[in-house]
Amino acid sequence: MTEAPKFTCDVNAVSKTFPANARRAWLEMGQPHRPLPRQVEPLELASALIAAPIRFDLDDKAATFELEVPPQGGLLLSVDL
């Protein structure tokens, strides 16, 4: 009996609706041309990627999952074998 491979899969996203969105934070602070030192840290925190686990289906030959990437969004997919 062959044991199925064990791995995890996480996604980090940047989009209008995901937590990592420095642009939204920048807009909320009034779109400063040159952010003040006190404004830089909140922008850096707003840009931090937060990993979220992905649910996937696994059979004997492949793992399958679906991700929706919004327009002008980006994803970082991490697979740990």
User: Which value, in Å, is the radius of gyration of the alpha carbons in the chain?
Assistant: 18
Tokens standing for 30? 């009034």
The full set of domain ranges for the chain reads: 8-80
Tokens standing for 35? 């952010």
pLDDT at 3 over 90: no
CA-CA-CA-CA dihedral for 50, 20, 48, 64, to nearest 10: 40
pLDDT in tens, 19-77: 677 888 999 999 999 999 999 999 998 888 777 788 888 887 788 888 877 777 777 78
If DSSP states are collapsed to H, E and C, what string results for 6-65?
CCEEEEEEECCCCCCCHHHHHHHCCCCCCCCHHHHHHHHHHCCCCCEECCCEECCCCEEC
Q: What is the pTM of this model?
A: 0.55
pLDDT at 19: 64
pLDDT at 2: 54
Q: pLDDT-derived band of residue 14, with 50, 70 and 90 as boundaries?
A: low
